[in-house]
Chain A
Amino acid sequence: MPETWRLVDVEFRDDPFMNLAIEEAIPRTVGFGKVPNTVRFWHNSNTIVLGCFQSASLEVNLEACKELGTDVVRRFTGGGAVYHDSGNLNYAISLKRGHPLIPTDDLQLAFQRLSEGTVQGLRALGVNAEFQPINDIQVNGLKVSGAAGSIRWDAIFHHGCILVGSDLSILAKVLNVAQVKLADKHVASVRKRVTTIRDELGRDVSTGEVKNSIAKGIEIAYNVRLQNGELSGEELALARELYDEKYSRPEWNLGR
């Protein structure tokens, strides 16, 4: 009998700060044992999401963001800045710590395991997706997805974003990419290192279609059954608290 995980589609497309508050509320509540292991799919519109250790002023072109109406929000996990718009699909996996699928003493292996569902889901769509250490998924040598994660609050947490049909020209305008980062990639810009599922498939593809395929990929990769669910009252209350005290505040989002 496969294990049942909860599937939630809770999102605030025009409030990235609330989206990131929910992103933290779920693993905290899962770790507390109050809700089942959970997969969440969600979208942001026109937002930069910074890694928790990044400097906003170094990584982000704040002037371009102002001009283009791009919000900047910091997540609680490490890794690099990503650009989200409605053509980008986000997924998050929250498991109670100790889950037999995921080692906690080998972070690289944990990242790889936690990316397997997404890799399988993308392959089922017909793209040649491969996990690329440290935390990327590539298609034909170009990055299509980046992931981040943590182990805390008695939970294992992993989230990633998938460029389904994002506007890569805006991405290149709002994110600064350090020259040293590009130095050995033999390409001049971030625009040439990334691709979208749409471009790789050569057809229009919705984030909904990709979501369904990844949900299926997760079920197969981890031998689980996903069951639609809602956030608990406790999770929502915690998300509102995190929103008020952390994610809506410039001190958190732009502070470092």
Chain B
Amino acid sequence: MKNDQTDLALSEGSTLTADYKAPGGKLVRVMIIEDSGIIRRAQITGDFFLLPEESLTRLEQVLTGTKITEAALKKVVHDFFAETRAQSLGVSQEDFVKAVISAREPD
């Protein structure tokens, strides 16, 4: 079975993960490949709602190449919602930012 996470782990850079719980209880699970403070690849999974559903892939794409700072992430996530007019439930724009910021090297 092909496994995305194995692919991620084999990419260059270090793997950072986070299990971030949004207010209300929904979980945002982040796995990113980071190199020199820049996101090289991002995968977001979880039990939240985001409409249209396909837009999550777009969010992962726009996060790629972004510097891991609150200001840079805020702008990218805000622009993503403005551009796609995506609607979310159980997770806010701020939660996506906080989830990525909270990613650390796995134990």
Contacts and interface: CB of A to CB of B under 8 A. Distances in A.
Interface of A: 51-55, 57-58, 76-81, 107-108, 111, 133-135, 148-152, 178-181, 183, 250-251, 254-256
Contacts of A77: 49, 53
A236 B33 CA distance: 43
| Size bin of chain B's contact surface | 20 to 34
The interface centre, meaning the residue of A55, A108, A148, A179 with most chain B CB atoms within 10 A of its CB, is A55
A256 B4 contact: yes
B37 interface: no
A152 B19 CA distance: 29
A133 B25 CA distance: 10
Contact of A181 (B1, B21, B49, B89): B21
Interface stretch (B39-47, B61-69, B74-82): B39-47
B27 A134 contact: no
A151 B51 contact: yes
Nearest to A55: B45
Nearest to A51: B47
B13 interface: no
Nearest to A62: B1
A53 B56 contact: yes
Contacts of A80: 27, 47
A57 B21 contact: no
B19 A180 contact: yes
Contacts of A151: 51
Contacts of B1: 250, 254
Nearest to A78: B49
B4 A78 contact: no
Interface in B57-107: 87-90
A133 B49 contact: no
A134 B26 contact: yes
A54 B90 contact: no
Nearest to B50: A78
11 contacts: A53-B46, A79-B48, A108-B89, A111-B89, A134-B26, A134-B49, A135-B89, A151-B51, A178-B29, A180-B20, A256-B4
Contacts of B5: 55, 57
Contacts of B88: 107
Given A107-B89, A134-B24, A183-B21, A79 B53 contact: no
A53 B51 contact: no
A46 to B, nearest CB: 20
Contacts of B20: 180
Nearest to A251: B2
B49 A107 contact: yes
B3 interface: yes
Contact of A152 (B43, B46, B52): B52
A135 B24 CA distance: 10
The interface centre, meaning the residue of A51, A81, A107, A134 with most chain B CB atoms within 10 A of its CB, is A134
Contact of B87 (A107, A178, A251): A107
Contact of A134 (B25, B29, B44, B50): B25
B44 A53 contact: yes
Contact of A58 (B29, B56, B90): B29
